[in-house]
Amino acid sequence: MNERRVMMIQQGARRNYVYARQLEAAGLLHSLVTDAAWPAGDEGWPTRLALRLAPGLSGPLARRCAAGVPRCRLRASILPNLAGVAGRFMHNEMAFALSDEALAFPNRLRGLCGADIIVNYHGNGGSFLSWAKRRGAKVATDFVITPKYLEIEQRERVIWPGWGTDKVSQSIIDSYRARMAHIVALSDLYLCPSQSVARDLADLPGFDPTRVRLLPYGVSGVLLRQAWPERGRVLFAGAANLRKGIPYLAQAATLLKARRPDIEIIVTGTVTLVVRLQPLTKNLTFLGNLDRERMANEFARADLFCLPSLAEGSATSIYEALANGVPVVTTESSGSIVRDGVEGLIVGERDGAAIANAIVRIVEDRNMRASMSAAALAAAEQFSDEACGRAFVNVIRELAAARSPLAHKTSSWN
């Protein structure tokens, strides 16, 4: 294929611009279209001024460094960031759509300029994707989360009243579903991080199974520490909310309090006061948001990792656990690469008792725990950024070479 044909479009610094970096390393990147971002060592005076005035912004701003992407390939605009301010007054999905259009406008003015393959995250780029498609470009979309996540959250609000945010209107759910169906229809390839995402995409009108490519995200940028697991210390990482299955983790903690009081479930990540004050969560230990160093220490101390999520793409926290050799208890909907009985245990959704039983099995059987730990490290090596990057680049080369619809193929892994 001719080089420099692939335009990568993404909002924010998702996965540290990994797809753009992989395309650039392969000599395929035409441009990275994004919101506020800069090349390594070239952040500009506004960023330096912001750091002087607010040193606490150093972490978030550092993540906007698109390392590995040269200035000549970067199409950055602050319009989506400005549009994001309006998002404080509307539902997240409406705000995302608005930011996508703010990104589409300057990019449409610039045009394709020779790019004829567009890779985007979950519809980032808005109407520009349709505009490019009409001009002959091929579109590959990475669906970063199940398209049913709003419906799943809504169901949980009914089951657990008072735990989450206000009810989402049916019009927002319908609008989001229509947007996903539109993206499915215009995409030449669906890049799915897990089988669970591909399964839920299949319920959208216009879905074509021959366009599915399973591409796990891979272990990326994990800060490792010497492991010193404390027996019975169970770690959860992520937003402690309904979508992540926090009430069912709390159920498990309540059961374990009576059965194995030596087992402690540690919850790291964003948590609202409403969740903290729920009577059911009193047996969970909340640490709140931790910096990168403290989070690495928590993974080093963990005996096992537990994420009973109900809706994901492919949870990055599980990749981090695997890289640390920590066995995992999770659900199929976490979208993980964990195999039941190998790197951990897969439990049913919405089942606190099953979570508790799985935790006890691993804590009590140290031979099982050791075997799963070794398998976790092996899986992390197999699904490294490099290995997953090669699979991604191969899929893009396949798309570039195709003159007609691609033959049915659900995975690029041998």
Specify whether the CB–CB gap between 144 and 313 falls below 8 A.
Answer: yes
Q: What would the pLDDT profile of 298-336 be if each residue is shown by its tens digit?
A: 999 999 999 999 999 999 999 999 999 999 999 999 999
Cα 51 to Cα 59: distance, rounded to the nearest angstrom: 10
Per-residue model confidence as pLDDT tens digits over 381-407: 999 888 999 999 999 999 999 865 444
Does a structural domain hold residue 408? no
- State which amino acid sits at residue 155: R
For 112, the domain range is 6-217+385-401
What does the alpha-carbon distance between residue 353 and residue 359 come to, in Å, rounded to a whole number? 10
Instruction: Give the SS3 label for residue 231.
Output: coil
Residues 296, 367, single domain; the answer is yes
How far apart, in whole angstroms, are the C-alpha atoms of residue 120 and residue 126? 10
Do the domain assignments include residue 238?
yes
Q: What is the CA radius of gyration of the chain?
A: 22
| In a shared domain, residues 213 and 282 | no
**Same domain (yes/no): 208, 289:** no
Residue 340 phi/psi, 5° resolution? -60, 125
Backbone conformation region of residue 341, classed left if phi is above 0, alpha if psi is from -120 to 50, else beta = left
Q: Tell me how many domains the chain contains.
A: 2
Regarding whether 312 and 262 lie in a shared domain, the answer is: yes
- What's the whole-number average pLDDT of the chain? 90
Domain assignment present for 225: no
pTM, two decimals, is 0.89
Residue 228 lies in a domain: no
Region of 238 on the Ramachandran plot (φ > 0 left; ψ -120 to 50 alpha; else beta) = left
Question: What per-residue confidence (pLDDT) applies to 61?
Answer: 64
Q: Tell me: the pLDDT tens digits for 196-230? A: 999 999 999 999 999 999 999 888 778 788 889 99
Alpha helices in 142-194 (DSSP H): 149-159, 170-186
**Who has greater pLDDT, 349 or 409?**
349
Residue 1, in any domain of the structure: no
